[in-house]
Amino acid sequence: MYQLTGEFECKMDVKGRLRLPTSLIRQIGASNLSFTLNRGFEKNLMLYPKDVWDSKTKEINQLNIYNTKQRHALRYFYRGATTLTLDSADRILLPKSLIEYAELSQDIVLFAYHEQIEIWSKENYEAIIAAEPEDFSVIADEIFGNVKLNGSDGSDET
């Protein structure tokens, strides 16, 4: 579907409008100007192109509303979800409640990966990046060390 990528520093205006970078819009495609915004897993927001949101909701809607944990997950996932469309200046208007949740101010970082875009306050993004481990290779080994890639079993044997 998409392979979004990039970090973009942006400014939010006093009305809560955020202009999406042209290079990011190109990655999404000019024909897909509708999005859904909701709360992220940390103090950030998640912006999904409409077709990605539709796919995500099909997944989450498989949860059982009669199971307490799953019902809570459904509520949290949908809480604050808002449909947005780019205006003629390539801006989206962020709802005040979501701005407050993510502690957004004028300086914003958009972090695009896979099919979604994380929206962070610059301060919170820098803090989470600063908390990265010194040796990412250890984490990569734990996560990907046994993954089979192109017929390989993930071992170091030569």
10-37 pLDDT, tens digit each: 999 999 999 999 999 999 987 778 999 9
CA atoms within 13 A on the CB side of 28: 26
Round to whole Å and give the CA distance between 74 and 63. 7
Amino acid at position 51, single letter: D
pTM of the model: 0.86
A 10 A CB-CB count for 52 gives 22
Class of domain 4-122: alpha beta
Round to whole Å and give the CA distance between 153 and 150. 9
94-130 pLDDT, tens digit each: 999 999 999 999 999 999 999 999 999 999 999 998 8
How do the domains of the chain map onto residue ranges?
4-122
41-59 pLDDT, tens digit each: 999 999 999 999 999 999 9
Q: What pLDDT band is residue 149 in, cutting at 50, 70 and 90?
A: low
